[in-house]
Amino acid sequence: MPDRPVFSILCSAYRCEEYLAETIDSVVAQTMPDWEMIVVDNGPSDEIAAIVERYRDDRRVRLVRQQNSRLIGGIGSAVAASSGRYLVPLDSDDLLTPAFCARMAEVLDRRPEIDVLSCDAGVFRDGDPPDLTTPFLRKRLGLEHRLTLADMIGEHDVIPYFAAFRREAWLAAGGYAPGSDLVEDIALYLRLIVAGHDIRVLPERLTRYRMRDDSASRDPSGVEAFEAACERVYSEAAHAYGDPATLELLDRRVRAFRYEQALRRARWAFVHGDIAAARAAARTAYRQRRTLRGGAVLAGVTVAPGALRVLRPLKLRATRAASRLLARVAALRERQPVSERQPVGER
């Protein structure tokens, strides 16, 4: 295909009218021009169609309209309408940095053995400037590390969804598969690893991940639904792989899920004044994992709930202040000339 672009950016748009133009602008701003962007109006919404129409002079930005078929159906339609060598799913409220395509293509073209290349993301809160970010990844694996099931199951944030997939690998693994709602990207990574595909993480913040106040991740039922979906796909992958060490790691991760869920329930009950329920949930958490944090929560709701009620708002304010400080430090570092930074390289 002589006109085949290097990248196909795949965007399923639903109830994102406030953010979509900024997302498209981040793609249009790429320093590497060889891309196409398929925006699927997954509603449909006349306002979303009107937003995409603003870019009619740029033939690289294309619109597909359909009835809502959730994220899996939206991305599937975008893939079907695309022709790029590398496929890049992009949520309709997130952003690419201008160097994303150029940098990812540089690595993938040089390393044909890599089937999927992810990268770090800068996390920013809705309402903050997109350059005021903190890193998504706490553990830096480095480009020379090939992702394993142990990495995926054993770490909370080993890989963000931002990635460039070779089209052949995406199609071989079935892309975002039906039945994997909430964890479409995680399920895809797991299937690729079990099938023997090579996945790497480039430790560079080439994307921007928006934390929205209305995100499902902030809703208690949404959090637990997400964790239940994770547990299911982790279990399927670990049992398909059949490695005893991976199965043992799966058991520890499931315990970690149970621990975090019980602590959240203790917190929710405490906030709503149900001290008895808070104590019961705290005891459940401590049985799952005997940690200092779990012990402190159990002691607080058992011995001194009144003092805990006073200290909790202070802790929340201190945590928010520390997060903003870290974000500002990270943003200042990104503005430094490359020659003045500590090298990170492709380790």
Q: Of all residues in the chain, what percent carry a pLDDT higher than 70? A: 83
Q: What is the CATH number of the domain that holds 136?
A: 3.90.550.10
Cα gap 2→27, rounded to integer Å: 22
Which range marks the domain in which residue 249 is found? 217-326
Pair 204, 304 in one domain: no
Rounded to 10 degrees, the C-alpha dihedral 172/173/175/177 comes to 130
pLDDT per position in the chain (347 positions), as tens? Answer: 557 999 999 999 999 999 999 999 999 999 999 999 999 999 999 999 999 999 999 999 999 999 999 999 999 999 999 999 999 999 999 999 999 999 999 999 999 999 999 999 999 988 888 876 788 887 778 899 999 999 999 866 668 889 999 999 999 999 999 999 999 999 999 999 999 999 999 999 999 999 987 765 556 678 889 989 999 999 999 999 999 999 999 999 999 989 989 999 988 888 888 889 988 999 999 999 889 888 888 887 887 665 555 444 434 444 454 455 555 555 555 554 444 444 333 32
Last residue of a domain, one of 196, 216, 236: 216
Chain CA centroid to CA 286, Å: 29
Q: Which of 216, 235, 252 is the last residue of a domain?
A: 216
Domain final residue pick, 216, 235, 265:
216
Position 19 in a domain = yes
Could you tell me if residue 322 is inside a domain? yes
Answer yes or no: do 207 and 221 share one domain: no
Judgement on whether residues 268 and 133 belong to the same structural domain of the protein: no
Crossing angle of helices 46-53 and 20-28, rounded to 10°: 30
Q: Are residues 200 and 221 in the same domain?
A: no
Question: Token pair for residue 88?
Answer: 């890049």
